[in-house]
Amino acid sequence: MANVQLPDSLLVHNYIEGDENALTILINRHQSKIFGFIYSKISDRDISNDIFQDTFIKVIKTLKSNSYNEEGKFLPWVMRIAHNLIIDHFRKNKKMPMFRETEEFSIFSIMSDDSPTIENKIIREQVDTDLRKLIEELPADQKEVLVMRMYQDMSFKEISEITGVSINTALGRMRYALMNMRKVIDKHQIILTN
C-alpha cells in the first residue's frame, strides 16, 4: 500500500516517464470524486460514463504529449477538463435535445403514429362495404348521380352532360339519394363511423 501515499505530482511524473501503473493509481484514487462531480451535473449514468471517459482521454493525451503544466494540482486540473466537457455536452444537447425514456416520461406520450391500425383498417373496409350495399338499394337515377359525384369525382355540370338532364335535376337526384340513404341508415340503425 506504499503507492497510496505517493503524491499526485509524483505519480503524474512517473506516468509521463512511462509508468502505466501510476495512471491506474491516479484513476482509482480520484474516480469517485470526478465521476460524482460529473453525475451531479448530468444525472445520467451512461452519459456521465462517457464524459468521464472523454475527460481521461484528454488527460492521457495531454500527459503523453508532455503538454501538462505542472504548476497546477492534478485533481483540479482534471475537474476543469470534466467541467468543460460537461458544458460542451449541454451546448450540444441544447442544439439537439435527447430524450430518454424514464418512469415519469415516455417519449410515446408526445409521439403518436397516425397511420391506421389493423382494427381501424378492418372497420374502414366494413364501412365501405356497408355503404356500397346502401348505394345499391337506391333507385337507378339517384345511384347513377351519386356514384358519378362521389366515386368518380365528377362535377354536376359533367354529370348533367353525361346523363342528359339539367344540372338542377342532377342536384335534386343527389339530394334525394342522400336523403334516402339517411332514412335507411336511421331505420336500420347502421353505424357508419370509424
Partner 1 sequence: MAKIYSKKTLVIPTMKPKKEVVSFLLNYSKALSIMKGNKMSFEIIAN
Point out which residues bind partner 1 (CB under 8 A).
20, 23-24, 27-28, 31-32, 35-36, 39, 48-49, 52-53, 56-57, 60-61, 64-66
How far apart are CB 96 and partner 1 at their closest, in Å? 24
How far apart are CB 99 and partner 1 at their closest, in Å? 23
Q: Which long-range contacts (CB under 8 A, 24 or more apart) does 165-170 make?
A: 170/145
Do 145 and 160 touch, CB atoms closer than 8 A?
no
How far apart are CB 106 and partner 1 at their closest, in Å? 26
Quick one: 30 or 143, whose CB is closer to partner 1? 30
Cα angle, residue 184 at apex, residues 183 and 186 outer, rounded to 5°: 65
Q: Where are the alpha helices (DSSP H) in 17-114?
A: 20-42, 45-64, 74-95
Question: How close are the terminal C-alpha atoms of the chain, in Å?
Answer: 75
Quick one: 56 or 156, whose CB is closer to partner 1? 56
Quick one: 21 or 129, whose CB is closer to partner 1? 21
Quick one: 21 or 126, whose CB is closer to partner 1? 21
How far apart are CB 32 and partner 1 at their closest, in Å? 5
